[in-house]
Homo-oligomer: A and B are copies of this chain.
C-alpha cells in the first residue's frame, strides 16, 4: 500500500540499477534466480560491499525479503547492515514472521522506530508484535506520540481479526459534500492522505459510514453532483471479525475495500483487497498443513523446531494406530491358521483410509467456502454414504474376482469384498461427519479430523475383514 514510498526509496537507493542484473535477478516466473542468490552469497562471504550494493539495487524490496529467506542466519544478519533505512522499512513487512523476529532484534531501537514510522499502521503493528517486551518498550519510546498511539491501538485488537488487518488511514467525506468539494479537499490535504486508496467513504454526522464512492467514479463525475447521489452501498466489517470471515466476504462480493467499524458503528479504518490476498493464501496453507497433521515451523526453522512441530501428531497417531492394531491381537489365532489374512488386511484398511481422506478433503473445502452448511448437511452426508457403498462395491467386485483367481477360495473373496464395502461405507460416513461435527462445535474442521478418520477406517478395516474371515472361513 505504499507504492509512493517504494518509488522514492527506489529512486534513492537505485541510482545506477543495472539492467543486466535486473534481468538476471528473477526467473521468468518472477521467482528469484538461484544463480543470483549464489552471487549474493559469494559477495557476502568476500565482504564485497560494492558488489552487494549493485546486486541489491537490482532487486525490489519484496525480492530482498524473498532473498533473505534463502540465506543462512549469519548471511542474513550481514545483509541487514547493507540495507538503507528506507529499504529496511519496506523489507520488514514482507519477511516471514520467524525471520523477522530474528532480524528486528539486531536493529538499533532508534533506527527501528524510524522504519516503523514509514510503514502503514497494520504493518508497523505486526513488526512491533514480534519484539519481546523489553525491546518493544524501548522502540515504542523512541517513536513520536501519534505513531506510537496508532500502533498500540492496533495491537489492542486480537490477532487475525479485522482490527489487526485494517489500516487506520481512511478517506472520509460528509454526505452533503459534492464531487467538486471532495476533490478540492483531497488536493488540499494531499500530504495527510493514505498513499493509495480506492474509495472515499461517505459518513453521517456521527461518523458512521453510509456509502462509498470509488475514486474512479469521483474522477469522471461532474463537480456539482452530491456524493450521496453517486455513492454505493457498503459492507461494514466489525472490528472483531475473524480474518477468515473477512476474506470470505471480500471473495463473495468481489470487494476492493471495505470500511471497518467499532461496536457503536463508527468508522475506525479500512481493509483493502491486497491485504486479503495474503489472508486467503495463509488460511488455505493452514488447511493443507492441518489436514496432514503438521504445523508450519517456517522455512528457516532448525531441525529441532521441525521435530517439535511434527512429533506431537506422530505420538497421537502412534496411540490411534496401536488401538486399531489391538483389534488384530484378538484374531491372532485366525492369522496363524490362515496367514494370507495378514497379507490382505492392510489393503482393506488402506482403501478405507483413502476413501475417508477423499471425503474429508471435499468436506473441509466445502465448509471453508460455505458450500456445505446446515442447509445441505443431511443431503451431503447421505450422498457420501451412497458413494461409499458404490465405490466399495466396485472395488469389491474387481478385487474379489482377482483374489478368486489367485486363491480359488470363494469364501475368502466374499469376506474381503464385504469388508471393503463396509469399510468404504464407514469411511465416507466418518469423512463427512467428523468435519461437520467439529465445525458445529466451533472448531477448525481441518485440524485433527484426519487422525480420527484414519483411526476409524483402520479399526473398521481390520475388524470387518478378520471378523468376517473368522465367521465364514474358519
- A350 B458 Cβ-Cβ under 8 A: yes
CB distance from A233 to the nearest CB of B (A): 7
Q: Mark A243-269, 1 if CB is under 8 A from B, else 0.
A: 001001111111110000000000000
Residues of the B chain whose Cβ atoms lie less than 8 Å from the Cβ of A198: 198, 216, 256
User: Which residues of the other chain, B, contact A340 by a CB distance below 8 angstroms?
Assistant: 329, 332
- Kindly state the separation between the CA atoms of A45 and B306 in the bound complex, as whole angstroms: 56
B365–A220 contact, CB under 8 A?
A: no
CB contact under 8 A between A343 and B351, given known A254-B274, A256-B196: no
Q: Write out the residue numbers on chain B whose beta carbons fall within 8 Å of the beta carbon of A29.
A: 245, 248, 370
A183 within 8 A of B: yes
Residues of B within 8 A of A38 (CB): 375
In the complex, the answer to whether B390 meets A313 with C-beta atoms within 8 Å is: no
Q: Which of the segments A79-87, A111-119, A186-194 contacts the partner chain?
A: A186-194
Q: Which residues of chain B come closer than 8 Å to A324, judged between CB atoms?
A: 346, 350
A131 beta carbon closer than 8 Å to chain B: no
Q: What residues of chain B lie closer than 8 Å to A386, measured between beta carbons? A: 303
Chain A interface, number of residues (Cβ within 8 angstroms) = 130
A181 beta carbon closer than 8 Å to chain B: no
Shortest distance in angstroms between A53's beta carbon and chain B's nearest beta carbon? 20
Give which listed residue, B193, B216, B252, B311, contacts A220 with CB less than 8 A: B193
Interface string of A178-208 (1 = CB under 8 A from B): 0000010011001001101110000000000
Whole-angstrom CA separation of A374 from B361 in the bound complex: 30
Q: How far is the CA of A347 from the CA of B299 in the complex (A)?
A: 30
Instruction: Identify which of residues 1-48 in chain A touch chain B, using a CB-to-CB cut-off of 8 Å.
Output: 1, 3-4, 6-7, 10, 29-32, 34, 37-38
| Bound: A217/B454 CA distance, A | 56
Looking at chain A's contact residues, is the secondary structure mostly helix, strand, loop, or mixed?
helix
Q: Pick the interface stretch among A146-154, A159-167, A286-294.
A: A286-294
A285-B365, A325-B347, A375-B70 known; A394-B219 Cβ under 8 A: no
Report the Cα distance A340→B332, complex, angstroms: 7
Is A401 an interface position by the 8 A CB rule?
A: no
Indicate if the CB atoms of A332 and B325 lie closer than 8 Å. no
Give the CA-CA distance A316 to B391 in the complex, in Å. 13
Chain A 422-455, CB-CB to B under 8 Å as 1, else 0, gives 0000000000000000000000000000000010
Determine if A473 is an interface residue (Cβ-Cβ < 8 Å). no
Contact status B387-A307, CB under 8 Å? yes
| A395 interface residue per 8 A CB criterion | yes
In contact, A30 and B351 (Cβ under 8 angstroms): no
Q: Does A355 contact B (CB under 8 A)?
A: yes
Of B250, B326, B339, the residue contacting A336 (CB under 8 A) is B339
Q: Is B219's CB under 8 angstroms from A354's CB?
A: no
- Is A315's CB within 8 Å of the partner chain B? yes
Does A66 have its Cβ within 8 Å of any Cβ on chain B? yes
Pair A332/B321 contact, Cβ less than 8 Å: no
Asked if A351 and B278 sit within 8 Å, CB to CB, the answer is no
A135 CB–B CB distance under 8 Å:
no
Given A277-B251, A281-B251, A350-B317, are A325 and B344 neighbors across the interface (CB < 8 Å)?
yes
Whether A294 and B361, one on each chain, are in contact in the complex, defined by CB atoms closer than 8 angstroms, is yes
Q: Is the CB of A354 within 8 A of B220?
A: no
CB atoms of B299 and A371 under 8 A apart: yes
Inter-chain CA distance A325–B399, complex, in Å, is 14
- List the interface of chain A (C-beta within 8 A of B): 1, 3-4, 6-7, 10, 29-32, 34, 37-38, 60, 62, 66, 69-70, 96, 183, 186-187, 190, 193-194, 196-198, 214-222, 232-233, 245, 248-256, 273-274, 276-278, 280-281, 284-285, 287-289, 291-294, 296, 299, 303-304, 306-307, 310-311, 313-315, 317-318, 321-322, 324-326, 328-329, 332-333, 335-336, 339-340, 342-347, 349-351, 354-355, 357-358, 360-362, 364-366, 369-376, 383, 386-387, 390-391, 394-395, 398-399, 454, 458, 462
